[in-house]
Structure 1
Amino acid sequence: MEAQKSSKVYIALGSNMGNRYENLKKAIKAISALDNTKLIKSSNIYETEPVGYLAQDKFLNMVILVETNLNPLMLLRKLQEIENMLQRKRLIRWGPRTIDLDILLYDKLTINLPELQIPHPEMLKRAFVLIPLKDIEPDMEIYGKDIDRYIDACNDKIGVKHFKLFKD
């Protein structure tokens, strides 16, 4: 697929193996180095309890906003390459990982493909995604609802603790 006009994309990052903070920094550096892709904003970093598979270490999570000319599927492929470069292993669903990169929102697009769903299908249930997203876009509305309404409905928000400001 060919490149397209510049689009606003929100990407969630998470890590709970190795040096979690360094993993986030390396992922952001690699994303910023992608052709026609520019880092615009980054959220605070939060330490969070694992979801799904609980027998693992806590995560560091954050969200970044980038502008890119890469189309959604090409961006997905590039993010998967970055995950592989950072030694991501897909052994257990929701299991430990050096890095996890998820496209949350891509402009106002809705995509429903086997390999990519946008908006991300789990994001509205996950405080560890919504709270950092709110750092970047405090007045964001998703499906016509204020982001705070989704955060208030999350059961996992108590497990989301501010860790540090992101500095590259």
Structure 2
Amino acid sequence: MARAWLSLGANLGDAPANLAEAVRRIGEADGVAVVAQSGMITTKPWGKTDQPDFLNLALEINTALEPLPLLDALQAIEAVMGRERLEHWGPRVIDIDIVAYERLEMDTARLTLPHRYAHERDFVLDPLREIAPAVTEWLTSRRR
């Protein structure tokens, strides 16, 4: 099993319920087990700022899935929950990003690991620091 760290966010509908449902669905996905969950934090939008504030949290998971099948599973959860990709950095019912997968580095058309902007985003780093301080340090030190 590999270890991975996810960042979740929501700012449409009942954001706390959406995050809780996403965590539940992730934990029920084949080949995935939730190891740790941060608390929820409220954050300002990043990139496109004329939208409601987000609620964010981080998860640490164990997974039997390789990175791209894991991405497929997470995007399927987003789709079932009503995620529509209408606007880059726009509002969303749920957003699930793979922040890091072990210490793997990859850059494909579909997935960059570690996440390209994680080291710049407090809404990713603050919850992640709560459950995985060593991973947070690794992300920030390698992207300066």
User: TM class by shorter-chain length?
Assistant: over 0.9
Runs (5+) with no aligned partner, structure 1: 1-5, 154-168
Matches within 5 A, 1:1-168: 6-140=1-135, 141-142=137-138, 145=141
Q: What's the secondary structure of 1:10's corresponding residue?
A: strand
Structure number with higher helix proportion:
2
Runs (5+) with no aligned partner, structure 2: none
CA distance in 2, matches of 1:19, 1:143: 30
Which residue type is aligned with residue 86 of structure 2?
L
CA distance in 1, matches of 2:33, 2:140: 28
Change over 3 Å in CA distance of 1:139–1:73 after alignment to 2 = closer
- Following TM superposition, the consecutive aligned residue runs of length 4 or more in structure 1 with deviations greater than 2 angstroms are 138-141, 143-146
CA distance in 2, matches of 1:143, 1:16: 25
CA distance in 2, matches of 1:43, 1:73: 24
CA distance in 1, matches of 2:16, 2:140: 34
What is the aligned partner in structure 2 of residue 162 from structure 1? none
Deviation at 1:143, TM superposition (A): 5.7
Aligned pair count reads: 143
CA distance in 1, matches of 2:139, 2:69: 25
How many percent identity over aligned positions? 36
Q: Calculate the TM-score normalised by the size of structure 1.
A: 0.81
Q: Calculate the TM-score normalised by the size of structure 2.
A: 0.94
Which has the greater radius of gyration? 1
Root-mean-square deviation over aligned CA pairs: 1.7
CA distance in 2, matches of 1:7, 1:123: 20
